[in-house]
Homo-oligomer: A and B are copies of this chain.
Amino acid sequence: MGNCIQGCKDYFSRQKNTNIRLTLPVVCFVWQIAMIILFGVFIRYDEESDTHWVETKAHENITSDIENDFYFRYPSFQDVHVMIFVGFGFLMTFLKRYSFGAVGFNFLIASFGLQWALLMQGWFHSLDPQTGKIFIGVESLINADFCVAGCLIAYGAVLGKVSPVQLLVMTLFGVTLFAVEEYIILNLLHARDAGGSMVIHTFGGYYGLAISRVLYRPNLHQSKRMQGSVYHSDTFAMIGTLFLWMFWPSFNSAITDHGDGQHRAVINTYLCLASTVLTTVAISSLSQKTGKLDMVHIQNSTLAGGVALGTAAEFMISPYGALIVGFLCGIISTMGYIFISPFLEKTLKIQDTCGVHNLHAMPGVIGGIVGAITAAAASESVYGKQGLINTFDFTGDFKDRTVLTQGGYQAAGMCVSIVFGVVGGAIVGSILKLPIWGDPADENCFDDEVYWELPDEEEEHQESIPPILEYNNHMIHKQQELSESNFSVEHCES
């Protein structure tokens, strides 16, 4: 028995082996083949993307092709797609030597995740009971991208400390958990969450933080030299920040109701984000001796408003309401970077590389609360009778629900997302702790060297800074001659 425990300990603490030449290809191949088989069994085009659309049109008296949902949602979909791949990918390039991992692994896990999301979300939300098939259209693609966003948020918490195989495993479970919590929140509780404050950001944030807690590395300081940014990596990160910021109105409006629903969600998000920028800058400047700004805050906290308006964006929160939400989020998120992140690391042992707690988890919770309050405060005088029904979808089983009850269910939804994030993350974290996934040693974290063939930089520098170095070499050479001459003189003397 003692032997066994010792064996276990040895097993877990053995020298890290980052060779993923077997595991990574195997996981990619097996999972992709599984996707093909499952798609073959389950996934079909929906009626708006099938060649039978011409018959559907005639049957349902649709006069024009422009009524196809594609034209309502495709521009927003493409914006969301950019956020997922360029936005999240480049936001994480801020580390001096982890840009390949940031953009590349983001690319990999999003590409896998969206396939798995189409299946999981299909099974839970749109499995046709008669045919046993899942019918997909542009809205399914948006939802798949949304689902992936949750996992990419979680990636932010463990950035630089895990292997791509771990990330794929994390995404597999993340998408699965996401689909379940989404089903509970949106279908069972019938909460509204078009931009995913709860479903995406709160869940994704806590999922990542819980995993990071389980994978805590006490000796992470050994790779401290790699944990900062350099000038150009910060500039690359701003590409991510801006594409996320600019397209967030599309994110929050992509699956809201046609017409005024999408229109209003865009206006609210646009205003909220503008307000966030100003308070982020204010707090960032306050936090430094001479009022200098910190790129970490500008890159991240400016986005908190979009997160916090995910639930309420489609509501009649009114333009000044959106500004207030943004105002508060800029303050809270920036404060988070200054005060809460160090606390989390020291006290709770949560190493949160990108600060997802400040950018997603906290603002997500705020978003859930804002959503619950604004839902509870909704009134027929503001929304109009039909408007209220449309906005909160008070139809079918839920046609007798009051706005107050709705507010309660919104709050319940938020709790569900937190629980799923924390518990799910803890379990998945334990799985990822197994020493078979090829994660890097503490001293090799945040370094692309481990998983990427890096270009040989030496040559470039020889190209670009010869004058100075040549001068140095020249000087050194001269010294050498001098010293050697000394030697010879001395030898002579002796």
Contacts and interface: CB of A to CB of B under 8 A. Distances in A.
B263 A115 contact: no
Contacts of A243: 82, 86
11 contacts: A32-B278, A45-B319, A52-B384, A54-B390, A65-B72, A68-B259, A85-B246, A93-B235, A96-B459, A232-B232, A489-B490
Contacts of A64: 66-67
Main secondary structure on chain A at its contact with chain B? helix
A460 B96 contact: yes
A267 to B, nearest CB: 6
A179 interface: no
Interface in A77-116: 78-79, 81-82, 85-86, 89-90, 93, 96-97, 99-100, 103-104, 107-108, 111-112, 114-115
Given A78-B75, A263-B137, A475 B480 contact: yes
Nearest to A484: B482
A278 B486 contact: no
A324 interface: yes
B264 A45 contact: yes
A131 interface: no
Nearest to A45: B264
B260 A49 contact: yes
A259 B53 contact: yes
Contacts of A451: 291-293
Contacts of A40: 318, 320
A242 B28 contact: no
Contact of A274 (B115, B282, B483): B115
Given A51-B264, A473-B475, 8 more contacts: A48-B263, A55-B386, A78-B250, A103-B238, A225-B463, A226-B463, A292-B453, A294-B452
A114 to B, nearest CB: 6
A386 B53 CA distance: 10
Contacts of A323: 32, 35-36, 39, 115
Contacts of A460: 96, 230
B459 A228 contact: yes
Interface stretch (A414-422, A427-435, A464-472): A464-472
A275 interface: yes
A346 interface: no
Interface stretch (A15-23, A214-222, A398-406): A15-23
B234 A236 contact: no
Given A49-B260, A51-B388, A71-B71, A290 B21 contact: yes
Contacts of A228: 455-456, 459
Interface string A11-52: 000000011111111001101110111011001110011111
A288 interface: yes
A281 B103 contact: no
A397 interface: no
B242 A103 contact: yes
A376 interface: no
Contacts of A247: 78
A245 interface: yes
A229 interface: yes
Contact of A281 (B24, B234, B459, B472): B24
Candidate in A86, A232, A281 with the most chain B CB atoms within 10 angstroms: A281
Contacts of A18: 290
Given A323-B36, A386-B54, A267 B136 contact: yes
A414 B283 CA distance: 42
A286 interface: yes
A-B CB proximity, top 5 nearest: A51-B387, A21-B291, A53-B260, A65-B259, A111-B277
A143 interface: no
A483 B236 CA distance: 47
A170 to B, nearest CB: 16
Contacts of A9: none
